[in-house]
Each structure stands twice: as C-alpha cells, then as structure tokens.
Chain A
Amino acid sequence: MTSIRCRAQTFEAEHPEEFLMNVLLILPILIPMLTAVLALLLQKSRSTQRAVSSIGAWTLFAAAAWLVVDVWRNGIQAAQMGNWPAPYGITLVADLFSAVMVLLAGIIAAAVGMYSLVSVDAQREEFGYHSLYHFLLMGVCGAFLTGDLFNLYVWFEVMLMASFVLMALGGERGQMEGAIKYVTLNLISSALFLSALGLLYAIAGTLNMADLAYKFSDVSASQHPGLMTTLAILFMLAFGIKAAVFPLFFWLPASYHTPPVAVSALFAGLLTKVGVYALIRVFTLIFLQDVGYTHSLILVIAGLTMVSGVLGAVAQYDFRRLLSFHIISQIGYALMGLGIFTASALGGAVFFIFHVSIAKASLFLVSGVAQRLYRTCDLKRLGGLYQTQPMLAALFLVSAMSLAGIPPFSGFFAKLGLVKAGLDTGQHVIVAVALGVSLLTLFSMLKIWGEAFWKPIPDQSGTTGGLSGVRLSNWLFPIAILSAISVVLGLGAGPAFNFALQAGEQLMDPSLYIQAVLGGAP
C-alpha cells in the first residue's frame, strides 16, 4: 500500500564519510535543540531538567570537538540540508573558523552550564532557564555553521530571542530597563540585516554565501560598484550592532550586567562573537569588491572600538559593568585582524576571539562569586578577597592578566599575533592603539585587583557566610576549567596559533569555501 523512497538527485550519500559529515554538521544544532525541547517538556521536574541540561551541554562540547578534529583532518566540510544541492537548499558549512567557534560555544556551554546549576535560582529554572540556555546555544551554533545568509538571519533571531528572554527572565527592574535597550537596538540591527538581505537578493538572486562569493568574484559586480559597497556597509553596520562596535555598542553596557551572572557570562562569551564571526565571514567571503574602502573602514572602527570600550571600562567602579565595557574594547582587537586582512592577521583574530571569550566568561564568573559573597558588585564595597579566597584570586589573576595581554597567558599570544601582523603590513597606527589600549586594559584589571582583592574589606557588613567551603568548589570549578584553557592556550601557543593561522589562511582563500559548498564550478 505504501512505499518509501528517498531523494538522491545530486550525489549518492552512501559513503560513510559523507554520512559522518551530514551528522557532524547538524549535531551542534540538534543537540541543543533537543536538549531545550526536552527541558521544556520536563518543566515540571527541576532535577530532570538540570540533568538534561548538563548532559546536553557536555554532549555539545563533545560533538564540537569531534567536528574540529574532522575539519582539521579533512578540510572544509559541507552538508546540504534536505539533500537539496547548493545553492538551492541550505548548506551547513564548517571550515576551521566555524568549527573552532562551535567548539568555543561547546566549552562555554559546558562551563557556564555547570556554574548555572549552582548559581541560578530555582524560580528561573522553573520558568525555562535551561530551555532558553540551550535555545541560545542552538542559535549560536546555527549561526556559526550556516552557509546561507538568510538562514544566518534566522539563527541570529533564535539566538537573540533566547537572549532577550534570558536577559529579562526574573523581571527585576534593572533587567527590564536593560532589556528594553537591548531588545530595541538589536531589532534595529535585525531590520537592517533583513533589508540588506532583500537588496542583496535583488541584485544577486541567491542567498547561499558560497554562491554569492562566486557570483561576485567575477567582473559583473563592478557594474554597480556604489551599490555593492553600500550593501557591504549595511551588512557591516547590521553585524556591527550585534558585535557592539563603536558607535553602535550602547545596548551592551546598558544591559549585560543586569541578568544573573551565568547569563552575563554566556552572553559575554558568545553573543558579540557571533556578530564578529558574521563580519569576518562576509568580509572575507562575499564583500571583497572594494577592500581598500571597506576594510580600511573596519580598521578605523576597530581602533575607535578599542579606545572607547576601554575608556568606558576605566570609568567604571562596578565589577560587571567594567567587564562589560571590556567586551567592547576586545571586539576592536578581533576586528583589527579583519581590517588588516592578511592570513596571519585573521589567524590572530581567530585566536583572539577564542581566547577572549574564554577569559571574559571566566572573569564574569569570578564577579559572580564576589557578588554572591558580598551581595554587591560595587568595587568600593568589595575587598579582602585575596586573603579570604586565595583560589578565586589566582583564577582571577590568570584571566585578568590574560585579558591584559600579559605573558605567558593566551591573551599575550593573541595580541602578539595581531601586532605582528599589523607591523608586517605597515599599519602602525592601529598597532600603537592596540598596544596603548592594552595598557589601559591592564590598568582597569589592576583596579579590580586592587579594590576587590587587595583592599581590606571596607566594613564588616559584607559577610562571607553565603557559601560554605564545599559548595564554593562547585562555583570555582567551572572558572578553573576556563582559566586552565587560558594557560594551556598560552603554554601551548605553538600548535594553537598554528591552528588559528591555518584558519586564517582558509579565510583568505574563498575558493576553498566555494569549492566545498558548490563542488566543482557551478
């Protein structure tokens, strides 16, 4: 009565490696989705939710690690969703950059997930915290893996919607005020992205990024140079808002410190990085018509972002707000690599993004412990942590020095790569800015150190009774994992940077990407 058949119009998907590829590329999206849905369906039981959430996060990490290994061994991987050939269906693509970003998401998911279990209150959990957490990861991983520009928009929205809710979950007044700004400004970005997409489709008739790259690589793009460059600028600004670059970053300092610390850490580690990822992706693949103009502009934005972000941080006297402004400043460094636009600069940027996400998430988690102990994030009211919490102090120092670019931690190598690339290409101004900002970063990190750790406890009202010894280790363990990665990335900078450099070389050669997605010449 019924018969079952599958489509197989372009290739026979019978080779095991193709099967593996199809599975590996979708897993980082499916795992969080399944986890989120299960958490949603199991909302009645808090303990089951927590278990599902942890398993989901670690599975994501494992899948991501597997993906990285696979891409490292076999080159750029692509899978055609629905088995529709590119550019008609939606392609998922993983080059080294994508894969390593997914791995980053996996690491942050696992570490912050553990931290969530001890730090997020039961009420938020009952109202879907774990579900939202994994929906956010789903959006983030989707954005990293998709090879389709409109699909990127969809993943952005998944991620944003989840972040909106996570930010507002709890309904505290500060959260509301922060969320309104966060939501409004990000919706502007979405509208801009959508409009730019519409215009791009009108011109190119396609949405597949590899196809766009292929179509724009020939001379036809030069027929409308002004329009093409303007479109590039629109995308730059739309992604720029999400990446929180100068002068579009306002939503970030207004909101990042308002939700629970685990949420801040998750956002700090991943969200703006998706914006940077998108910028790097489209400005190494698609918008290469007027590099002299667009990439110089990116360089200018990078410099201004670094400076204005770090000045914002210097002005703060609140642990988390200070860290929030630093996120902006660090985005500048990642863009610096894109603006310089050489393989080593992009490699530096990849390394930098990875490093800074880890360090930043770790610092936010540290701030959470401080907040838990003293019920405040105001540096003026914190103190004495160096004596009372030596382990926390050590972990903070690792991440803070890493962020400030002090060797031998990961941040030094990230900045070294960027500075070297800048000097090699004669971009002395941005190098000077990068180094100067690095000093100010150090300054503001030392401010936290001096105030929260070294300074004696200002008054006796701050109690340290919030956490007992056993439970504190649960708070510190995720931080220790992240700090350990900072150290390992530093001491093992040789292979790590070599990996990043290869990712940079892949980015600089769009034909590899196009080949992987479209096969031979389409």
Chain B
Amino acid sequence: MTSLILRTTTRYLTPLLLIFSVFLFLRGHNQPGGGFAGGLVAAAPFALFSIAFGAAEARRVLQVEPRWLIGVGLLAALASGVIGLLGGYPFLTGTWGYLKLPGFGVLDIGTPLFFDLGVYLAVIGVTLSIIFALEEAE
C-alpha cells in the first residue's frame, strides 16, 4: 500500500487538489460544484496522506482535529442563518453585499456563501474523521 509512487504522487497532488477544491467551492453558486463537492476534494489529499504515510502523519499535516472542523463547519452554517434572524427576518434569510475586486468585477458575497463554507469545512472534517478512524482501527 505504502508504495513509493503513492507517496510521491500524494506530495505533488496535495496542493493541486486543495486549489481545485477551493475553485470548486467558489464557483459552486454559479457552476456545478459547491461546498460539498469542494469539501470532498479537499479531503482527498489528506485521505491519500493517511493511506500513504499513516493516519498519524496525516493528522500532523492537517494540524487541526477533524472533529473540530465538523464543529466549526456546523457553527458557520448556523451562524449564517442567525444573521438573518437578528435582522428580524426568518432564519437563513440571505444577506448580500457587493465586493468590487479588481480583475474579477463585481462579486456577490452573501450569507449563503458563508453557509456553503460551513458545508465545505464540515465535509472535510467528516470525511477525514471517518477515514482516519478506519485507518487507526486495530
């Protein structure tokens, strides 16, 4: 399992996959993709890491406890909903702002994107906790 090819591929693939995952996540609102798919792709390199170098190594690379990511993701989703609520609107009511970025033009930034970020983080956390746990099982 822990072949040299896998190890090497993993090293080179990791940044690529991470960038791709952010891309998938960001374009999700307008093109196929989104937090869920993005999160899965982002989890992939760490999953490969754990297969190639063992779960302990993968945990070290990840630096945060995957279950913490789950909590933060859920909290983000929840918070994005509460923003509308605090404004006197129902839970999850979208709040939007514009962000003018040189080169990108006008970007719509809103709580639904923040919500999707929660999904993204939670999915990474979930996938990795499951895979690490299975890897570490005696």
Q: State if A and B touch, Cβ cutoff 8 Å.
A: yes
User: Given that A13-B88, A40-B71, A41-B71 are contacting pairs, would A2 and B94 also be in contact in the complex, using a CB cutoff of 8 Å?
Assistant: no
The yes or no answer to B82 lying at the interface (CB within 8 A) is yes
- Digitize B62-83: 1 where CB-to-A-CB distance is under 8 Å, 0 elsewhere: 0000011011101100100110
- Digitize A355-391: 1 where CB-to-B-CB distance is under 8 Å, 0 elsewhere: 0000000000000000000000000000000000000
User: Given that A2-B98, A22-B85, A37-B75 are contacting pairs, would A82 and B92 also be in contact in the complex, using a CB cutoff of 8 Å?
Assistant: yes
- Digitize A72-110: 1 where CB-to-B-CB distance is under 8 Å, 0 elsewhere: 000000011111000000000000000000000000000
Tell me which residues across on chain B come within 8 A of A2, comparing CB atoms.
97-99, 109
Q: Which residues between 7 and 39 of chain A lie within 8 Å of chain B, taking CB atoms?
A: 7-8, 13-14, 18-19, 22-23, 26, 30, 33-34, 37
User: Given that A6-B87, A19-B88, A82-B92 are contacting pairs, would A41 and B68 also be in contact in the complex, using a CB cutoff of 8 Å?
Assistant: yes
The docked-state distance in angstroms from the alpha carbon of A18 to that of B89 is: 8
- Digitize B14-35: 1 where CB-to-A-CB distance is under 8 Å, 0 elsewhere: 0000000000000000000000
The yes or no answer to A461 lying at the interface (CB within 8 A) is no
Distance in Å from the Cβ of A41 to the closest Cβ of chain B? 4
Tell me which residues across on chain A come within 8 A of B87, comparing CB atoms.
6
Tell me which residues across on chain A come within 8 A of B97, comparing CB atoms.
2-5
- Of B72, B78, B99, the residue contacting A33 (CB under 8 A) is B78
- Of A3, A33, A37, A83, the residue contacting B89 (CB under 8 A) is A83
Contact B74 A79 (CB under 8 A): no
Q: Which residues between 83 and 127 of chain B lie within 8 Å of chain A, taking CB atoms?
A: 84-85, 87-100, 109
Tell me which residues across on chain A come within 8 A of B71, comparing CB atoms.
37, 40-41
User: Given that A2-B99, A30-B82, A34-B78 are contacting pairs, would A7 and B109 also be in contact in the complex, using a CB cutoff of 8 Å?
Assistant: no
Main secondary structure of the interface of B (DSSP, over half): mixed
Interface size class of B (residues with CB under 8 A): 20 to 34
The yes or no answer to A43 lying at the interface (CB within 8 A) is yes
The docked-state distance in angstroms from the alpha carbon of A333 to that of B15 is: 60
The docked-state distance in angstroms from the alpha carbon of A26 to that of B90 is: 8
Contact B96 A4 (CB under 8 A): yes
Tell me which residues across on chain A come within 8 A of B109, comparing CB atoms.
2
> Contact residues of B with A, CB < 8 Å?
67-68, 70-72, 74-75, 78, 81-82, 84-85, 87-100, 109
User: A22-B91, A37-B75 known; 13 other A-B pairs, CB under 8 Å?
Assistant: A1-B100, A2-B99, A3-B97, A6-B95, A8-B89, A22-B85, A30-B82, A37-B71, A37-B74, A40-B71, A41-B71, A82-B91, A83-B84
A-B contacts, 21 of them at CB < 8 A, read A2-B98, A6-B84, A6-B87, A6-B94, A6-B95, A13-B89, A22-B89, A23-B85, A26-B90, A30-B81, A30-B82, A37-B71, A40-B70, A41-B68, A81-B90, A81-B92, A82-B84, A82-B90, A82-B91, A82-B92, A83-B94
> Contact residues of A with B, CB < 8 Å?
1-8, 13-14, 18-19, 22-23, 26, 30, 33-34, 37, 40-41, 43, 79-83
